[in-house]
């Protein structure tokens, strides 16, 4: 069964809806943009979820001490590195953080970054997203799933694959069939405005994922 992560949460009621739908992960953003939260705000938002949901914090290029402070304040389970991380960044955080580390590989068209192989070796999971100049994520830009499938399969091995990049209720089933991710990650695709989740779209997204996995 493919799991679902609802990311870019800014309201406690949206985290509660993610929990009610049975999502596996809930995410908050610490990397700027319209969904950016302080650690204290994230802690309050994530109180809407339950212990069944893993709490993910999305970071850009941040000092390790800031990441660790945010992890403690927001009680995060997973650090997601979205600032074009390298293996050395993963190792540096792992030395001080006992939770899981997800590394983002941002694809341009059908091309993965040249360092993607090292991310699959070092991270607990690799998240595929679209590369958009000047923005780290939440852009709604759709990945070329079919074109990416072969290169991803050549690299992934036993690593956990998380798929983001322009997913919404109408296309997630196709993405699941083409790339067979362990987790699908959605933010703007289930929103009525940046950071404001549409609960009907959230339900439709989850149902589409479940249908694709049957």
pTM of the model: 0.93
Task: Give domain 3-213's CATH number out of 3.20.20.70, 3.90.470.10, 3.40.640.10, 3.40.50.720.
Answer: 3.20.20.70
Flag whether pLDDT at 138 surpasses 60.
no
Flag whether pLDDT at 165 surpasses 90.
no
Report which of 37, 43, 33, 61 is spatially closest to residue 138, judged by C-alpha positions.
33
Range from 70-74, 139-143, 150-154 that averages highest in pLDDT:
70-74
Report which of 40, 38, 119, 52 is spatially closest to residue 80, judged by C-alpha positions.
119
Residue 36 — pLDDT band, cuts 50, 70, 90?
A: very high
Q: What percentage of residues in the chain have a pLDDT greater than 90?
A: 76
Domain ranges across the chain: 3-213
Whole-angstrom distance, CA of residue 200 vs CA of residue 55: 22
DSSP track, the chain: --EEEE-S---HHHHHHHHHHT-SEEEEE-SSSTTB--HHHHHHHHTTS-TTSEEEEEESS--HHHHHHHHHHHT-SEEEE-S---HHHHHHHHTT--SEEEEEEEEBTTBPPTTHHHHHHHSSEEEEEE-BTTB-S---PPP-HHHHHHHHHHHHTT-EEEE-SS--TTTHHHHHHHH--SEEEESGGGEEETTEE-HHHHHHHHHHHHHHH-
């Amino acid at each position: 069964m493919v799991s679902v992560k609802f990311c870019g949460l800014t309201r406690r009621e949206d985290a509660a809806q993610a929990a009610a739908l049975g999502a596996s992960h809930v995410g908050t953003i610490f990397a700027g943009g319209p969904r950016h939260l302080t650690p204290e705000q994230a802690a309050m938002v994530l109180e809407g979820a339950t212990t069944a949901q893993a709490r993910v914090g999305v970071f850009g290029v941040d000092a390790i001490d800031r990441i660790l402070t945010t992890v403690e304040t927001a009680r995060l389970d997973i650090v997601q590195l979205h600032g074009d991380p390298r293996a050395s960044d993963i190792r540096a955080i792992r030395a001080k953080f006992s939770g899981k580390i997800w590394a983002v590989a941002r694809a341009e068209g059908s091309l993965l970054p040249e360092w993607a192989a090292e991310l699959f070796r070092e991270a607990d999971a690799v998240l595929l997203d679209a590369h958009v100049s000047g923005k780290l994520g939440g852009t709604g830009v759709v990945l070329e799933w079919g074109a990416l499938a072969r290169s991803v399969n050549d690299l992934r091995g036993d690593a956990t694959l998380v798929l983001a990049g322009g997913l919404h209720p109408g296309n997630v089933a196709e993405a699941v069939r083409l790339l067979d991710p362990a987790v699908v990650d959605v933010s703007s695709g289930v929103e009525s405005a940046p950071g404001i989740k549409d609960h009907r779209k959230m339900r439709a997204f989850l149902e589409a994922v479940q249908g694709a996995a049957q």
